[in-house]
Amino acid sequence: MLVVQQIIANKDHYVNALTKRNFDAAPVLEKIIALDEERRATQAKLDNTLADSNKFSKEIGMLFKNGEQQKANLLKEKTAQLKEASKELSATLTEIQTQLSELLYTVPNVPHVSVPNGQSDEDNEEVFKEGDIPKLEDGALPHWELAKKYDIIDFELGVKITGAGFPVYKGKGARLQRALISYFLDKNTEAGYKEYQVPHLVNEASGYGTGQLPDKEGQMYHVTGDDLYLIPTAEVPVTNMFRGDLLKESDLPICCTGYTPCFRREAGSYGAHVRGLNRLHQFDKVEIVRIEKPENSYAALDGMVDHVKDILRELKLPYRILRLCGGDIGFTSALTYDFEVFSTAQDRWLEISSVSNFESYQANRLKLRFKDNDGKKQLAHTLNGSSLALPRVLAGILENYQTPKGIKIPEVLVPYCGFEYID
């Protein structure tokens, strides 16, 4: 979330910057500033009341010691009144702080200056494209038909077990899925990311820490009996490993990677764009997370983009990179690049990765700071990216690598799979 002191100092700048998100920030920022003034005034009253109470308590002891019992009893009455007043002020302060936090949670991150204006994904800016789109034989099939033909993914069986959006991977399909996970993790660890295995459920504090809560779109699965949430991405548990930490400057950067299943209650819709693996409620993803000094975070973002490029080059999949516009960028992100793979059989682009810099927005929620070499405490910057989300990568491989002989396995994956074709 935004820092209150920075809102006070830069209110007009924030109001103007947030218009890129089509967000009218002026009313809520004014309420935040007014609440903060009330908070500071209440805190000052509480501090003065507690100081007077402490002073009188010391005086009471001296008066009793000197035999001035009447004066001591009068001060005891005043002290009791002050203690009651301090309780009321503490309750008022807590209420104001809660209101302030709830308001701050409603304000999205300020977009980076490079974020283009726009209302929706149609206004995103293509910044890079690479790879040749293969020419398929007549009768080329979309991946959901290929999955049935080669008996490698069973969507109907997933419906039987759970419901739509929960596929069952079988035989060489399961082996290819496992190969992709191992390959992605190996690429990430070779690039300096430390691998973690993390819980697949998180508590409420973790959801608030990375900005998934409050869940305005109802996308998280909530285990109500234990008040836990199934993770929508490994970003949540991995980043929350550092919630509340005060790091040393020498600790940075911190680079993490992890594989997890992911769970999202996305609103249902119909058509080819959501068929098969295009949109799922449960899917696998390998994530990269970085914690950086503020001055290094955008160079780190560029490095993460180059890292994902390298993976897609090795997979030999045609892809493009989009800089998301203000109307499409995520609530907590300052700048996001989306990677999309071209699905030749579907004749459309499929999103397979988002790489984002959150600047200090998540860190302020997480209370994640570092002490610089001068001893000053600063909020860190957090970044994350998919490296990669498996369903649409798998869809791209099945569709773009289909041949009359079967589905050819990308050369880089053959050592992981142990076979060259799905036939």
- Tokens for 342? 């071209």
Neighbours of 2 (CB within 10 A): 20
Tell whether 264 is in a known binding site.
yes
Q: How far, CA to CA in Å, does 251 sit from each of 14, 275, 371, 374? A: 31, 44, 10, 15
To the question of whether residue 260 is assigned a binding role by annotation, the answer is no
Exposure string of 244-266, with b = 16+ CB inside 10 Å and e = fewer, is eeebeeeebbbbbbbbbebbbbe
Scan for tokens 């739509």, then name that residue.
Answer: 164
**DSSP E strand stretches across 324-416:** 335-343, 348-357, 369-371, 377-379, 381-389, 402-403, 406-408
39 in a labelled binding site: no
Q: Is 21 annotated as a binding residue?
A: no
C-alpha distances out from residue 211 to 15, 112, 254, 364, Å: 21, 18, 20, 11
Q: Is 265 annotated for ligand binding? A: yes
354 annotated ligand binder? yes
The response to whether 352 counts as a known ligand-binding position is yes
- Where in 181-281 does DSSP place strands (E)? 194-196, 201-202, 222-223, 228-230, 246-248, 254-263
Q: Tell me how far apart the alpha carbons of residues 78 and 98 are, in angstroms, rounded to a whole number.
A: 30
In degrees and rounded to multiples of 5, residue 204 shows phi and psi of -60, -40
Cβ-contact 211, 362 below 8 angstroms: yes
161 labelled ligand-binding: no
Residues annotated within the binding site for ATP are 264-266, 351-354
Residues annotated within the binding site for L-serine are 233, 264, 287, 384
Residues annotated within the binding site are 233, 264-266, 287, 351-354, 384
